[in-house]
Chains A and B, each alone.
Chain A
Amino acid sequence: MVVDQSEFKSFGIWFFSYMVDFAMLALFMLVGWAILAFALAAIRNSPGRAAKMIVGTIKRAFFVDFPRTSIRRTMAMSRLAIQEAIRNKVLIIFVLFIALLLFAGWFLDVENDHPARLYLGFVLSASTYLLLALGIFLSAFSLPNDIKNRTIYTITTKPVRAHEIFLGRVFGFAAVGTLLLVLMASVSYGFVKRGLDHDHTIDKTAIEWDEATGLGTGKTSLNAYHRHEFTINRNLENADGLIGTTELAKGHSHNIYLRGDDYIVGSPTGDLLARVPVYGALSFLDRYGKPSEEGGLNVGKEWTYRSYIEGNTLNTAIWEFENLTEDMFVTSGSEGVLPLELNLRVFRSTKGKIESRIHGEILLVNPEDKLPTEQRFSAPIPFEADEFVTSQVNIKFSDIHRQNPKTGALENINLFKHLVDGGKLQVHIRCKDRAQFFGMARADVYIRAPEGSFEANLIKCYLGIWMQMLLVILLGVFFSTFLNGIVALISSVAIIAMGMFAGFIGDIQTGEAPGGGPIESIVRNITQQGATLELEMGDTAIEVIESLDGFYLNTMESLAKLAPDFSKFNMSSKVAYGYDIHRDLILKQLVTTMVYFFVLVLAGYFILTSREIAA
């Protein structure tokens, strides 16, 4: 799973920089409005009168209208928006959603290797797109319809403040959306649980027993397009009859119980997870074991998210973890384990045996570099990695050794006493096979903290969808304060798209994404020149093209910075891949939503108070 770099920034650090941006944005909006409103008012009136109007509006806003905000009036407007939406039959969206679920079997790949990811991805995407579409349609057309039908006359001639009209719409539509979201979430949860639930049986005559060890191996029945291999131990004496667990298949396994003479396969486990990853900072050593400024190697892939280390060299990827404490790993009554999960990519430069896994080794290292080297490093812990497979490496504390420099013998060491320094621990990973490579990004190796609740994680994901919906409604209502319905709708969609592609626009602008701006791309297409090659044209022509593209891209980038980045709110992949959504991520999104809320309400107020409703 790809994790955005910004996620690694803690909420505290992020908050300060974001608030500075927010203040700038709010100031920009206020000054922008004042200039625009002054210009328009000056055209229609005299400059003196225009200035008086602007100052009067700002004074009235902060000293009269905002302090006199009435909850009852705002709620009345919300109620009206809800009644309007419901009587316009918006709940049909829910019926549409149910219909989608009913016929999901027609278009979903039921034999997929990760059905949980598939089902979760489907229901979360369907909920998101339906709700966003609903939010945008409701919000973009409501106010323009009121103005067109002149029902707004009977509102604005009552003591209703402009921001109460704005807030009423937003709250009302958000309430309708929330109701739909809750309904969709409940149905989705049932759909996923039911879709994943299945049984297997074991033919006890087909079990192959090893009489010496009491271990039996076999395969379960074929159900839900798969079967599991299993190993059971009939000598185990658990109170609940648990005698083994199946191998993973389609992202889950089953417990196997002995009940009387029968072997019972339990419900699927491990498909709906909320793994809590503890991430470290990533750095690299080059093939000679020296710290690398450039990071890892580039194996020629255009997507530079991951870097690579070369096998059978000193090329090393180092993750440094912080704030580790003993109680994170040692549970009473059981041995301490350092649970590492590796999502390494494998890049083979020689074919070899394509089915065989690539070998690697892990070294646990004390980050205190003043210590003698032999005291800092644990003995290598071997592991194997394969493409697109998560390797779980559970390092028992008793398996952590260090070589005695004098005797050369391995001796057991205490992880927290000998290797963890001030809560910090380094994990070094090397590839052992010559001419093969491991690829990694910062989020690909992590320590797995105690599991979170899947249901709580799902709720957090829906909270993200809810915030996206709120942002869409805010944008729709904001644009509808000065544009007609269809134009407000298109503008909202444009801003959402701009927010979604802000990163890409930035990459084009900085030249990180090859191919140049829109004009250069068109020229390349027509003249059939590759995106990564130098553009072959006359110097003057290139200069003109680059200037025009530069102007366009600078404008687009500035606009994109104003737009909320919707991709950051989409956490469905985390839930589908079984990763816990960190609290900081939710907090960042909440703050972002609040910022846009206040900025857009403020902007909407000033626009509504500056426009002639009856013009």
Chain B
Amino acid sequence: MSTSADQKGEVIVETRNLTKTYKDFWGRSKVHALKALDLNVRRGEIFGLLGPNGSGKSTTIKLLLGLLFPTSGEALVFGKDAADVSKNERIGYLPEESYLYKFLNAEETLDFYGRLFNMSAARRKSRIRDLINLIDLDWAKRRQLKEYSKGMTRRIGLAQALINDPELIVLDEPTTGLDPIGTRDMKDLIVRLRDQGKTILMCSHLLADVQDVCDRIAILHQGELKELGAVDSLLSVQDITQIQAKNLTPDTEEAIRKLIADNQGELISMENPTTTLEDLFLSIVRDSESRPGFVSRKEGVEQQEETATTE
């Protein structure tokens, strides 16, 4: 888990009483998408917007990017109004879907977005080379995006968001459409970018992703801010102590149980931990990559398969 950002750092993103109400043609309110949101995102932190579908996460991001106009309140990025185009010089944005031009190839795509930042030809060239290496698409850089898989499109989408080496990176559901390896790579990259001093604002409904990378989170529900704070402090359970140990004998375990009971404590569980499916999957894939052709199956899995076949 990453360290918390400096709470006294420079405020990069700020919303003040930010409200968005969708109205019909006659001005009648249809949906209150966001209600009086007050947020600060500071330099160098990974800030997560969390919430179920329709909670206002994407609306908040669109308001900050100037894609929507607030009904009331203010959205400031680098101290500028969200409608000010010049703020975009310092922003990189990865939309929820990679909305890219399918008739361009990867190099043309990055070159096009580089030009939009008024980058010189030499700088574009070097940035494109670096980013294509970063997203590991060198082998497919001349293929039109319409031939790309969803994961590849997502990666090129990320590359376009980084073309200008932005200070603030806005990621809308960054792991959507990625396989577990891609998801892990994306999360590692997010952390790496933070370590390079970038500020990251991301929204996701995948709780594990947010938990893995975010320093601070805001939880939205029905357009309202329900919780805001550092992930560590929000998730820590103060009245439960967790001890993890290795190579304990049954006697030692029994002694620990007794010690807890003697001290009026309540033992909730004592068991062998399981790994996550993500970790298992990644270890199998990495093992397979290092030893092509080698089949390794766990005994329990084989037995279950045999039983199923006999039946």
Q: Which residues of A contact B (CB under 8 A)?
A: 43-46, 49, 53, 56, 60, 64-65, 68, 70, 72-73, 75-77, 79-80, 83-84, 87, 149-161, 609, 612-615
10 closest A-B pairs by beta carbon, nearest first, are A76-B115, A614-B67, A43-B27, A158-B116, A150-B99, A157-B93, A87-B103, A159-B88, A151-B99, A614-B62
A159 touches B86 (CB 8 A): yes
A44 touches B88 (CB 8 A): no
A157 touches B91 (CB 8 A): yes
Q: Which of A64, A72, A80, A157 touches B67 (beta carbons < 8 Å)?
A: A157
Q: Which of A45, A64, A77, A79 touches B86 (beta carbons < 8 Å)?
A: A64
Q: Which of B22, B65, B115 touches A157 (beta carbons < 8 Å)?
A: B65
Query: What is the number of residues of chain B that contact chain A, defined by CB distance less than 8 Å?
Result: 37
Taking CB as reference atom, which chain A residue is nearest B25?
Answer: A43
- Chain B 55-106 interface residues, beta-carbon cutoff 8 Å to A: 62, 65-69, 71-72, 81, 83-86, 88-89, 91, 93, 95, 97, 99-101, 103-104
- Chain B 1-54 interface residues, beta-carbon cutoff 8 Å to A: 22-23, 26-27
B65 touches A612 (CB 8 A): no
> In the complex, A531 Cα to B210 Cα: how many Å?
77
A44 touches B27 (CB 8 A): yes
B26 touches A73 (CB 8 A): no
> In the complex, A201 Cα to B160 Cα: how many Å?
71
> In the complex, A44 Cα to B23 Cα: how many Å?
7
A154 touches B93 (CB 8 A): yes
**Can you give 30 contacting A-B residue pairs, CB < 8 Å?**
A43-B26, A43-B27, A49-B72, A56-B81, A56-B83, A60-B84, A68-B86, A72-B118, A73-B118, A76-B112, A77-B116, A80-B104, A83-B103, A83-B108, A149-B99, A150-B99, A151-B101, A153-B95, A154-B95, A154-B100, A154-B113, A154-B160, A156-B66, A157-B65, A157-B66, A157-B67, A158-B117, A159-B85, A615-B22, A615-B68
User: Which of A45, A53, A79 gathers the greatest number of chain B CB atoms within 10 Å?
Assistant: A45
Q: CB-CB < 8 A to B85: which residues of A?
A: 65, 159-161
CB of B24 to closest CB in A, whole Å? 10
Taking CB as reference atom, which chain A residue is nearest B119?
Answer: A72
B23 touches A75 (CB 8 A): no
Taking CB as reference atom, which chain B residue is nearest A87?
Answer: B103
Q: CB-CB < 8 A to A80: which residues of B?
A: 101, 104, 112
B101 touches A159 (CB 8 A): no
A151 touches B116 (CB 8 A): no
> In the complex, A152 Cα to B101 Cα: how many Å?
10
Q: CB-CB < 8 A to B117: which residues of A?
A: 158-159
Q: CB-CB < 8 A to A613: which residues of B?
A: 67
> In the complex, A70 Cα to B86 Cα: how many Å?
12
Q: CB-CB < 8 A to A77: which residues of B?
A: 116
> In the complex, A615 Cα to B100 Cα: how many Å?
19
Q: CB-CB < 8 A to B101: which residues of A?
A: 80, 83-84, 151
Assuming the contacts A76-B116, A83-B104, asked whether A156 and B67 have C-beta atoms less than 8 A apart, the reply is yes
B112 touches A151 (CB 8 A): no
Q: Using an 8 Å CB-CB cutoff, how does the interface string of B145-171 with A read, 1 for contact, 0 for none?
A: 000000000000000100010000000
> In the complex, A612 Cα to B160 Cα: how many Å?
23
CB of A73 to closest CB in B, whole Å? 5
Q: A156-B65, A614-B62 are in contact. List 11 more A-B contacts (CB 8 A).
A: A44-B71, A45-B71, A76-B115, A79-B115, A84-B101, A153-B95, A155-B116, A157-B66, A160-B85, A161-B85, A612-B67
Q: CB-CB < 8 A to A150: which residues of B?
A: 95, 97, 99
A-B contact count (CB 8 A): 97
> In the complex, A131 Cα to B26 Cα: how many Å?
40
Assuming the contacts A44-B23, A154-B100, A612-B67, asked whether A160 and B95 have C-beta atoms less than 8 A apart, the reply is no
Q: CB-CB < 8 A to A70: which residues of B?
A: 118
Taking CB as reference atom, which chain A residue is nearest B58?
Answer: A614
> In the complex, A46 Cα to B104 Cα: how many Å?
43
> In the complex, A151 Cα to B67 Cα: how many Å?
12
Q: CB-CB < 8 A to A45: which residues of B?
A: 71-72
> In the complex, A155 Cα to B67 Cα: how many Å?
11
Q: CB-CB < 8 A to A160: which residues of B?
A: 85, 88, 116
> In the complex, A154 Cα to B23 Cα: how many Å?
25
CB of A146 to closest CB in B, whole Å? 9
CB of B14 to closest CB in A, whole Å? 18
> In the complex, A73 Cα to B116 Cα: how many Å?
5
CB of B233 to closest CB in A, whole Å? 32
Q: CB-CB < 8 A to A46: which residues of B?
A: 72
> In the complex, A609 Cα to B84 Cα: how many Å?
10
Taking CB as reference atom, which chain A residue is nearest B121?
Answer: A72
Q: Which of B72, B84, B113, B115 touches A72 (beta carbons < 8 Å)?
A: B115
> In the complex, A413 Cα to B68 Cα: how many Å?
83
Q: Which of B67, B68, B88, B103 touches A84 (beta carbons < 8 Å)?
A: B103
Taking CB as reference atom, which chain A residue is nearest B67?
Answer: A614
> In the complex, A161 Cα to B101 Cα: how many Å?
19
> In the complex, A281 Cα to B269 Cα: how many Å?
109
CB of B203 to closest CB in A, whole Å? 14
Q: CB-CB < 8 A to A157: which residues of B?
A: 65-67, 88, 91, 93
Q: CB-CB < 8 A to A87: which residues of B?
A: 103
CB of B158 to closest CB in A, whole Å? 12
> In the complex, A76 Cα to B97 Cα: how many Å?
23
CB of B18 to closest CB in A, whole Å? 13
CB of A28 to closest CB in B, whole Å? 25
CB of B1 to closest CB in A, whole Å? 30
Q: CB-CB < 8 A to A156: which residues of B?
A: 65-67
> In the complex, A44 Cα to B70 Cα: how many Å?
10
CB of A297 to closest CB in B, whole Å? 60
> In the complex, A35 Cα to B284 Cα: how many Å?
65
CB of A265 to closest CB in B, whole Å? 56
A79 touches B116 (CB 8 A): no
Q: CB-CB < 8 A to A151: which residues of B?
A: 99-101
CB of A41 to closest CB in B, whole Å? 8
> In the complex, A263 Cα to B26 Cα: how many Å?
85
Taking CB as reference atom, which chain A residue is nearest B62?
Answer: A614
CB of A161 to closest CB in B, whole Å? 6
Q: CB-CB < 8 A to A72: which residues of B?
A: 115, 118
Q: CB-CB < 8 A to A75: which residues of B?
A: 115
CB of B172 to closest CB in A, whole Å? 9
Q: CB-CB < 8 A to B26: which residues of A?
A: 43
Q: Which of B68, B72, B81, B112 touches A614 (beta carbons < 8 Å)?
A: B68
> In the complex, A406 Cα to B150 Cα: how many Å?
104
Q: CB-CB < 8 A to B67: which residues of A?
A: 153, 156-157, 612-614
Q: CB-CB < 8 A to B89: which residues of A?
A: 159
Q: CB-CB < 8 A to A43: which residues of B?
A: 23, 26-27
CB of B53 to closest CB in A, whole Å? 16
CB of B265 to closest CB in A, whole Å? 54
Q: CB-CB < 8 A to B112: which residues of A?
A: 76, 79-80
Q: CB-CB < 8 A to A609: which residues of B?
A: 83
Taking CB as reference atom, which chain A residue is nearest B71?
Answer: A45
Taking CB as reference atom, which chain B residue is nearest A71?
Answer: B118
Q: CB-CB < 8 A to B93: which residues of A?
A: 153-154, 157
Q: CB-CB < 8 A to B65: which residues of A?
A: 156-157
> In the complex, A103 Cα to B133 Cα: how many Å?
54
Q: CB-CB < 8 A to B115: which residues of A?
A: 72-73, 75-76, 79
Q: CB-CB < 8 A to A76: which residues of B?
A: 112, 115-116
Q: CB-CB < 8 A to B164: which residues of A?
A: 158
User: Which of B26, B113, B118 gathers the greatest number of chain A CB atoms within 10 Å?
Assistant: B118
CB of B249 to closest CB in A, whole Å? 59
Taking CB as reference atom, which chain B residue is nearest A46?
Answer: B72
Q: CB-CB < 8 A to B23: which residues of A?
A: 43-44
> In the complex, A274 Cα to B89 Cα: how many Å?
55
Taking CB as reference atom, which chain A residue is nearest B87?
Answer: A159
CB of A508 to closest CB in B, whole Å? 34
CB of A27 to closest CB in B, whole Å? 25
